[in-house]
């Protein structure tokens, strides 16, 4: 009988492996778990001996064999999603090319508080990104895969994410290209006379999990991809989701001879898992990289695949290469991204700042102030009495803004200012102001041409007014938790100088205006035309409704855009409503705040759900959502030390009253749902 040469070689290799296996009494591998309709087949090697068992799913509990990963057999379902773009993620931690160096990887995660000493998730709502190549070279691939499988489930429960991405070595192994396989895994093949890639065949838990992993992923404008995106791939005009789907449907577990030629670009040197073009000639690829970033609407590309001595920022921070040669088993690094700042971290938890894409771009004046240390001193010189006297006319007058830097140097900007705020400009000694600067003047100073700043001050110089301002500022921080697309604000120490010498000092805050928001989020602000509530992004709108109910605020309206920005973000189909100016809320409790005469309440401290219709199902979803963030609200209060301990305690009691209402929803359901 004729046997193909390839079959003979595999047979001979198997015989050799069996002989070697006999000498490997300390050899452990697995488990490999396969699913049938009602049962599980489990294969593993312990002390050099291969074992298998078939058990009913209904009676399966835990796989527990010494020196092998412990697997909860009732938790073998992974949460798969086709989502390829995420925005508003608080913190990202990325690693690539682990290649079976499981122990070193664990050290890195523990040192950076991604997991605890028991290897459980502690990264809260952060996103951990593994940018491909867990297979080959190292000897603890299975330990690594099962660990990530479990960690992904834990992260989901905590509101975070573990993104395990495909690298070229995953696709190689799944497609039976075993050139770089660690020799120990041939022993497993010999134990069960099974070609190694068949341990990940269709129906295997790990194989099905791996084959659904993404190839490209965007988080906060950072494009993660194992090799890179070439201009050739760009020419396919596929979205990120389409690239991922192409691999899942056509390129995983396929013999190269069976792959449709139209996918050649994706499987070869210019493909996203194999591309190294960014490193061939740094001088000639800059324009190509910028073309790709612009076409995909990304700020930076984060890649593995091409081995470096350390994580390296290239192309003025637009490319971050994170394959730091973990595969050698000597050291490990991760990339941490938080608040648009990029750091390299190591197994000691040491962080080193590296250049990111925004470090070389011009900052706005707002962004410059926002990123200065807390409570930066800002001095305003203007005729405050005239500004208040002419507040109804909203006329600009000459004003200067001086910013004291950390080294005590002062940057002075000349501009103009006017009062703002419908009521505050009439009743407050220090109404909110809007600064306006010449666009060309800002450009000459190295800033982008966002020429407006919105500042909010305590209404009077009394201490109670300062406390009211702190409470209003806290509501901006609180809403950042509820909707990550919300407006930002920052406390500033303010000194107002007028008539040459007279001076008032207090703490105010800076609020992001619409132009700055458009710059930061690449958004479009809807400034004209009536907006029907049905056109709003529903989940965001419902969260905003309940937020206003929580803080006892009725001083807003969507149709008139009263204390409301309506914005369109590229990654969200519908318009989002973003609230601001919370001084009329019952929580803040300003002396001048009164409810509108059309409302059936007499005091702003009374909770009233504004007349927007919601369904019973939506009501239930919002009750569950707000109860799920109750601890986050209290944690935000604990961090808000500017409130003072007494106010923190009173505020906690205030919000506890709201959450107590939610725990007995039938008490409020009629007032919210059934009044229409």
Q: What is the CA radius of gyration of the chain?
A: 29
Tokens of 637: 């209060």
- Count of CB atoms situated within 10 Å of the CB of 534: 8
- Alpha-helical runs (H) found in 500-537: 514-521
Going by pLDDT thresholds of 50, 70 and 90, the confidence category of residue 392 is confident
CB 91 within 8 A of CB 337: yes
Considering the chain, what percentage of its residues have pLDDT values greater than 90?
Answer: 61
Q: How far apart are CA 256 and CA 232, in angstroms?
A: 20
478: phi then psi, degrees, rounded to nearest 5: -65, -40
pLDDT on residue 642: 95
Best CA proximity match to 324, nearest among 163, 108, 638:
108
pLDDT tens for 189-240 read 998 999 999 999 999 999 999 989 999 999 999 999 999 998 888 888 899 9
pLDDT on residue 357: 85
Average pLDDT over every residue of 42-58: 93
For 259: left if phi > 0, alpha if psi spans -120 to 50, otherwise beta; the answer is beta
- Count of CB atoms situated within 10 Å of the CB of 257: 5
pLDDT on residue 282: 42
pLDDT on residue 378: 93
Residue 286 has pLDDT above 70, yes or no: no
Strands 341-346 and 564-568: unpaired
Kindly report the average pLDDT of the chain as a whole number.
88
Going by pLDDT thresholds of 50, 70 and 90, the confidence category of residue 283 is very low
Tokens of 384: 């405050």
**Kind plus residue range of the DSSP H or E element containing 344:** strand 341-346
CB 209 within 8 A of CB 142: no
pLDDT tens for 466-504 read 999 999 999 999 999 999 889 999 999 999 987 666 678
Q: What residues form DSSP beta bridges with 92?
A: 127, 337
567: phi then psi, degrees, rounded to nearest 5: -130, 150
Give 632's Cβ-side CA count (13 Å radius). 16
Contacts of 661 (CB under 8 A, 6+ apart): 607, 667, 668
Residue 89 has pLDDT above 90, yes or no: yes
Average pLDDT over every residue of 175-201: 90
Q: How far apart are CA 407 and CA 373, in angstroms?
A: 11
Q: How far apart are CA 436 and CA 455, in angstroms?
A: 11
Q: How far apart are CA 613 and CA 316, in angstroms?
A: 50
Instruction: Write out 309-367 in H/E/C secondary structure.
Output: CCCEEECCCCEEECCCCHHHCCCCEEEEEECCEEEEEECCCCEEEECCCCCCCCECHHH
Length of the chain in terms of residues written: 676
Q: What residues form DSSP beta bridges with 496?
A: 380, 504
631-633-634-637 Cα dihedral, nearest 10 degrees = 160
CB 324 within 8 A of CB 293: no
Question: What is residue 372's three-state secondary structure?
Answer: coil
- Count of CB atoms situated within 10 Å of the CB of 91: 17
pLDDT on residue 227: 93
Best CA proximity match to 450, nearest among 371, 516, 510:
516
Burial of 160 from C-beta contacts in 10 A (0-12 / 13-18 / 19+): buried
- Interaxial angle between packed helices 102-111 and 141-158, expressed in degrees from 0 to 180 and rounded to the nearest 10: 30
CB 110 within 8 A of CB 116: yes
Question: What is residue 285's three-state secondary structure?
Answer: helix
Q: How far apart are CA 215 and CA 33, in angstroms?
A: 24
Whole-Å CA distances, 609 to 23, 546, 670, 674: 74, 8, 11, 12
Q: Which residues of 118-147 are buried (b: 16+ CB within 10 A; e: fewer)?
A: eeebbbebbbbbbbbbbbbbbbbbbbbbbb
Place of tokens 């803004």: 401
Going by pLDDT thresholds of 50, 70 and 90, the confidence category of residue 2 is very low
Going by pLDDT thresholds of 50, 70 and 90, the confidence category of residue 532 is confident
pLDDT on residue 362: 64
Whole-Å CA distances, 36 to 44, 76, 200, 504: 18, 13, 14, 75
pLDDT on residue 361: 54
Instruction: Write out 80-132 in H/E/C secondary structure.
Output: CCCCCEECCCCEEEEECCCCCCHHHHHHHHHHCCCECCCCCECCCCCEEEECC
**Kind plus residue range of the DSSP H or E element containing 502:** strand 502-511
Strands 127-130 and 216-219: unpaired
Q: For the chain, what percentages of helix, strand and coil (3-state, to nearest 5) are there?
A: 35, 20, 40
Place of tokens 């996203």: 272
Tell how far CA 27 is from the center of its chain: 40
pLDDT on residue 443: 81
Give 649's Cβ-side CA count (13 Å radius). 3
Question: What is residue 554's three-state secondary structure?
Answer: coil
- Give the predicted TM-score (pTM) of the model: 0.55
pLDDT tens for 571-598 read 788 999 999 999 999 999 999 999 999 9
Q: What domains sit in the chain, N to C, each tagged with a CATH number?
A: 5-60 (no CATH), 85-166+213-354 (3.60.21.10), 365-672 (no CATH)
């Amino acid at each position: 009988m004729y046997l193909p040469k390839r079959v003979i070689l595999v047979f001979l290799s198997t015989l050799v492996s069996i002989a070697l296996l006999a000498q490997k009494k300390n050899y452990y591998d697995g488990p490999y778990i396969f699913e049938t309709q009602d049962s599980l087949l489990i294969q593993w090697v312990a002390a050099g001996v291969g074992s298998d068992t078939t058990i009913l799913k209904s009676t399966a509990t835990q796989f527990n064999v010494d020196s092998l990963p412990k697997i909860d057999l009732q938790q073998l379902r992974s949460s798969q999603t086709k989502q390829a773009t995420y925005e508003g993620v608080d913190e990202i931690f990325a690693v690539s090319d682990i290649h079976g160096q499981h122990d070193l990887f664990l050290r890195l995660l523990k040192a950076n508080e991604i997991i605890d000493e028991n290897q459980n998730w502690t990264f809260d709502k952060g996103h951990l990104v593994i940018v491909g190549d867990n297979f080959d070279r190292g000897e603890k691939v299975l330990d690594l895969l099962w660990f990530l499988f479990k960690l992904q489930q834990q992260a989901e429960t905590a509101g975070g994410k573990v993104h395990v991405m495909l690298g070229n070595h995953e696709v190689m192994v799944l497609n039976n290209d075993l050139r770089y396989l660690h020799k120990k895994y041939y022993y497993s093949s010999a134990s069960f006379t099974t070609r190694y890639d068949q341990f990940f065949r269709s129906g295997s838990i790990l194989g099905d999990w791996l084959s659904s992993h993404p190839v490209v992923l965007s988080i906060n404008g950072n494009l993660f991809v194992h090799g890179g995106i070439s201009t050739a791939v760009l020419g396919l005009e596929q979205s990120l989701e389409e690239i991922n789907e192409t691999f899942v449907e056509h390129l995983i577990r396929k013999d190269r001879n069976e792959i449709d030629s139209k996918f050649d670009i994706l499987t070869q040197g210019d493909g996203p898992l194999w591309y190294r073009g960014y490193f061939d000639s740094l001088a000639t690829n800059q324009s190509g990289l910028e073309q790709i970033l612009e076409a995909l609407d990304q700020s930076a590309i984060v890649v593995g695949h091409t081995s470096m001595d350390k994580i390296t920022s290239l192309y003025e921070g637009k490319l971050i290469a994170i394959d730091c040669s973990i595969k050698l088993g000597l050291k490990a690094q991760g990339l941490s991204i938080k608040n648009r700042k990029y750091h390299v971290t190591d197994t000691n938890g040491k962080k080193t700042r590296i250049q990111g894409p925004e470090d070389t771009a011009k900052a706005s004046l707002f962004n410059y102030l926002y990123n200065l240390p807390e409570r930066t001193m800002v001095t305003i010189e203007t005729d405050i009495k005239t500004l208040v006297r002419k507040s109804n006319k909203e006329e600009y007058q000459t004003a200067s803004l001086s910013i004291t830097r950390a080294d005590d140097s002062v940057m002075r900007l000349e501009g103009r200012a006017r009062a703002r705020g419908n009521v505050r400009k009439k009743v407050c000694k220090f109404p909110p102001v809007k600064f306006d600067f010449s666009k060309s003047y800002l450009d000459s100073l190295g800033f982008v041409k966002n020429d407006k700043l919105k500042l909010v001050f305590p209404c009077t110089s009394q201490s109670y007014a300062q406390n009211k301002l702190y409470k209003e500022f806290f509501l901006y921080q609180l809403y950042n938790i509820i909707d990550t697309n919300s407006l930002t604000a920052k406390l500033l120490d303010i000194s107002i100088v007028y008539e040459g010498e007279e001076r008032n000092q207090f703490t105010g805050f800076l609020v992001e205006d619409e132009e700055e928001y458009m710059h930061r989020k690449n958004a479009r602000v809807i400034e004209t035309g009536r907006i029907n509530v049905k056109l709003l992004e529903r989940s965001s709108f419902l969260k905003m409704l309940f937020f206003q109910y929580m803080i006892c605020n009725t001083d807003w309206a969507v149709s008139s855009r009263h204390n409301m920005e309506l914005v369109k973000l590229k990654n969200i189909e519908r318009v989002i409503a973003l609230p601001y100016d919370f001084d009329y809320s019952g929580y803040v409790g300003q002396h001048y705040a009164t409810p509108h005469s059309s409302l059936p309440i007499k005091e702003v401290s009374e909770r009233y759900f504004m007349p927007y219709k919601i369904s019973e199902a939506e009501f239930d979803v919002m009750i569950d959502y707000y109860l799920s963030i109750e601890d986050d609200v209290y944690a935000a209060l604990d961090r808000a030390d500017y409130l003072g301990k007494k106010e923190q305690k009173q505020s906690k009691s205030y919000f506890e009253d709201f959450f107590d209402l939610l725990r007995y929803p039938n008490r409020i359901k009629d007032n919210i749902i059934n009044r229409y």
